[in-house]
Each structure stands twice: as C-alpha cells, then as structure tokens.
Amino acid sequence: MGKLSSLQQQVQDSINNAISTSERTYFSLTEKSASFCSKWYQQHNSSIAKACNSLREFNIKSGEKLAAVIAKIEKEPTTEDKVKETIDQAAEATKTLVEKAAEQAAKLNEKAKKVKEDVLA
C-alpha cells in the first residue's frame, strides 16, 4: 500500500472518529435536557443520526473516489510490466554469463596455443 493510500485511510478514519465522537457528545448533552423536552429529544436525535449517517456515507464515497485517483497515481505494476522486468533481468544475467564464458574461452584458447607451441617446438 502506498504512502498516499495510507494517509488517505488515516484521514478517513480520523473523520469517522470525529463524527462518532461528535455524535456521542451531542447525544450525551441532549440526553440531559431530555427530561424537559422528550418529544423534541427523539426528533432531534433522529435528525442527528440521519445527518451523521449521511456524513459517513459521504466519507465512504469520497474515500472510494480518492482511492481510485490514488491508485491511478501510484499505479501498481501490471502483469505485463512484471514480465518485462523479469525478461530484462534474465537478459542481463544471460549477458553476464556469456561475457564470463567468453573470457574463460579466451583464456583456454591462449593456453591451447601455448601447449601447441610447446609440442611443436
């Protein structure tokens, strides 16, 4: 998960926690005055619950849209990209092996020339 995705998730969690804290605080405060206005209290709590639910839904939807944008920015490598990278690594490894084999062949060729010269001499 990228840094932006982590940060975005933390922001969403913080917003959700703030909404829940505000909701609990508000319910706690209104509960104290409930004995004085029971009907108003029930209607008011219902309105607050609806508003908080709407805010939560908005938070979720905006988080999904932001996650989509972040995914485009951080673009995870596709299978094609991974295959290309693997092929490049294999090509580099093969090139290294061929170069080492060529060096060894050159050394053996030099030794063979010396042996041939010694035998013919």
**What pLDDT, in 10s, does the model give residues 40-84?**
777 878 888 998 899 999 999 988 888 888 877 877 767 887 888
Q: How far apart (Å, rounded) are the C-alpha atoms in residues 45 and 33?
A: 12
CA dist list (Å): 49 to 15, 44, 55, 63: 16, 9, 10, 21
pTM of the predicted protein model? 0.41
Could you tell me the sign of the dihedral formed by the alpha carbons of 44, 49, 54, 55, in that order? positive
Are both 51 and 65 inside the same structural domain? yes
Are both 105 and 115 inside the same structural domain? yes
Are both 40 and 66 inside the same structural domain? yes
100: domain range? 78-121
Are both 65 and 97 inside the same structural domain? no
What domain count does the chain have? 2
Q: What is the DSSP string of 60-111?
A: HHHHHHHHHHHHHHH-PPPHHHHHHHHHHHHHHHHHHHHHHHHHHHHHHHHH
